[in-house]
Structure 1
């Protein structure tokens, strides 16, 4: 007797982010047995940035040399499975990655930043001020919800272009993802209008202080020069991002089941439905929203005026959450008590814990390869040196495109814009001279390769933090963003080749 029901083919599921990183760690460990370690000498250079003198430590391109043993042979020091006494072994990658760096960056600083932001916004969300404010807004803007997408995308892209907005998108995703889901879209839409928008702005910027300004200074190009070309580029990239996001969002609103993040969106919907809130925006809710608004203005002012970074911004968000909690207790918002402040902070931090762990694990990949310091022996330095020499005897336009491709790939290992500029631009700038490409084009290849691949690489702390806030696994995100990433790379290639052809 034949079964009436036929077996349905199993859907292919992407491996968990932790699994993907583990296999990348194994690949990195294999490279340490095949590729010898190398290092550069470094020097300090000084350049002017908006009237201020900036000093940066960079590598000297012609100073590369292999680490050698007593017989003069290049050292291939394969990483062992386990290393005691604080050294890096294959299975040490989680702990060593989590405790590496300092409070100013990856990994320990970014991990703390993610957890504090999660906790702070856990308090803000516990007050229900955002929920009641949103319901009131929906009631007043019936039929105009689609306008939220281009408006938010434009503002976040502008933030990325003007002051290098990136990690801050994590906090905004915690607010906007539930909003767009309540409006009928999905969590992916929320990530697109926050984090993806910031990175498009970051990459196509004419004045980003953490990317283009540093790269131009290191390359010996006048800082913030070439702005007209880049402003046109930013407008086109942002328009493409808005169009793609609106097309996707409209499709999901018509049929939510087409979303790769359907289960995630259902989680938020069930949470919203279980609370059965009705629009009841009171004075206390208004004070929480005012606190959040003034806090964001304070953060933007600090970044633009005083170059605030991870330690300062994390504390600013903590203060926002703390004040919101006090307001919640005084006005008895959602029946909050003093203990509710602590409990909601804990829950918010817990929600972003997986993203914080990914940051440490991803940093472990770089540590396995010997770290990203140019004057310390590492496999990464050897790869950087040999990749830099591949542009010899290429046509100018092809050399420029190869620089873009190289910067895009190298960004997997060094996602920091300023860090990648210090590592790669001292090599790319003189290579551009030899290849007949202007140094301005070399900077263009750097900023597009660095910024846009942050949208997809799992080693990006800001991306993983934003996905954590949206409750989207990296494998799911990869399946969605891959096609759009190709569009962005083609568009980047066009601009870089045009730049080479017109001697930008």
Structure 2
């Protein structure tokens, strides 16, 4: 999980080594072959998540939580915030959080909250957890691998940042939710309030069994145990992606057996294996992006283009202060987040070029990985594509209303994240 380190002062001009058309196309296949360990890990993780979702453990757990906190709805907001932030930081749960809208939206409406609170507590919370990822395989693990470092480096700083960021988001949600309860016209989405209430306010009996049974509790416990096992394996045993994939696959198989059998809750062999296949299939696009991005890097490396870019860039940053450099990196990733909205794709595409620049200014490469997380995800809160627009469309909510609510969070991430990065640089120096 390490990469070669550039040695300052060793750059030499060589004969041009241009890539032919056939080299460019074959590099896509070669890059996929080189990335197969990462791709298998992602597919296995997708299958694991798919089986857990099919078991109904996620929804049943949240439904039980909403029942327990009836009459104390902000406690529900607090617990959902903590749980989804953990989901984001551990395994990048973002799209999967969409399953919670049908459960939570009616509860929030009955309490007097609006669509902003609903999106803020589900989408924004899970995304903020991903922004301050501790071990998220889709961002920090892949980015660390591409940067030539391990995801365990800088973990303490990311944990500290996660705690502070989630705490601040809770205060922000509490302030906004209380204002809306006291005066519904304060709502940023007040113009669409009736439409939102009509769409989500009526609760109907669902066919899916929402009972939070012992089996579902065991499934969630097994799923949660997968991530501490991964951390232990990397830190104590030096695991790479094949080892992590094997551990996740073992847990997935155990959960599949639990999900498959049972008089009332059992899904049967076909539905269980289909759930695993569908979960893996949902991440095929992510896996292919990683392979294709690695192919692009292969063309750059074989043609000595990466070395030239690194040399020219190192000249630009050679006299930069480390603190200033890392802030610039965060802003660069902020812009790149608009161009390349895929977190894993951007990590594999940009990290091999940008991370070695940290060696030039004598700061750890893992700080560039953290800058990538803060910069890209701050943009993904705003960019009107992908998950943001899918979420807003699901709730029939205007982008302008969302923008009014989320821009302070973006500013906070950039300022607070920048402060954390500078602190890491100063400590490392």
Whether the aligned pair in 2 keeps the contact of 1:391 and 1:402 (CA below 8 Å) is: no
The reply on whether 1:344 has 2:265 as its aligned counterpart is no
Pairing partner for 1:450 from 354, 362, 372: 372
- Unpaired runs of 5+ residues, structure 1, are 1-53, 70-74, 433-438, 459-463
Separation in structure 2 between the aligned mates of residue 147 and residue 396 of structure 1, nearest angstrom:
37
Tell me which protein shows more helix as a share of its residues.
2
Taking structure 1 as the reference length, the TM-score comes to: 0.56
Q: Is the CA contact (8 Å cut-off) linking 2:147 and 2:351 kept in structure 1?
A: yes
User: Does 1:303 pair with 2:231?
Assistant: yes
Is 2:309 aligned against 1:383? yes
Determine if the alignment matches structure 1 residue 99 to structure 2 residue 32. yes
Are the counterparts in 1 of residues 121 and 173 from structure 2 also a CA contact under 8 Å?
A: yes
Counterpart in 2 of 1:489? 414
Structure-to-structure mapping, 1:299-448, within 5 angstroms: 299-305=227-233, 306-308=237-239, 310-334=241-265, 336-350=267-281, 352=282, 355-361=283-289, 363-365=291-293, 367-368=295-296, 370-371=298-299, 373=301, 376-392=302-318, 398-399=324-325, 401-405=327-331, 424=354, 426-430=356-360, 432=361, 439-440=362-363, 445-448=367-370
| Number of residue-to-residue matches in the alignment | 386
Mapped contact 1:388–1:427 kept (Cα < 8 A): yes
What is the distance in 2 between the residues matched to 1:496 and 1:152? 26
5 Å-filtered alignment, 1:178-327, equals 178-179=99-100, 181-184=102-105, 186=118, 189-202=121-134, 235-243=163-171, 273=204, 275-277=206-208, 279-281=210-212, 285-305=213-233, 306-308=237-239, 310-327=241-258
Structure 1 residue 57: Cα displacement: 2.7
Offset, 1:387: 2.0
CA offset at residue 197 of structure 1?
A: 1.0
Spell out, residue by residue over 1:296-353, the C-alpha distance to the aligned partner (whole angstroms, 9 max, x if none): 2244124224354543444444444443443344323356332222333344444x1x
Q: Is the 8 A contact 1:99 1:360 kept in 2?
A: yes
Aligned to 2:15: 68
Alpha carbons of structure 1 residues 202 and 244: separation in structure 2 relative to 1, 3 Å: farther
Instruction: Specify the alignment match of 2:24 in structure 1.
Output: 88
Contact 1:178/1:187 (CA < 8 Å) preserved in 2? no
Deviations 1:115-144 (CA, angstroms, capped at 9, x unpaired): x33433333333334434433332221123
Shift of residue 257, structure 1, vs aligned partner: 6.6
Question: Over alpha carbons, which structure has the higher Rg?
Answer: 1
Distance 1:100 1:258 in 2: 52
Q: 2:377 is paired with a residue of what secondary structure?
A: coil
Give unpaired runs (5+ residues) of structure 2: 106-116, 381-385
Cα shift readout 1:415-460 (whole Å, capped 9, x = no counterpart): 6879977765554334x3xxxxxx45x65852431222352689xx
- Partners of 1:372 and 1:259 lie apart in 2 by 51
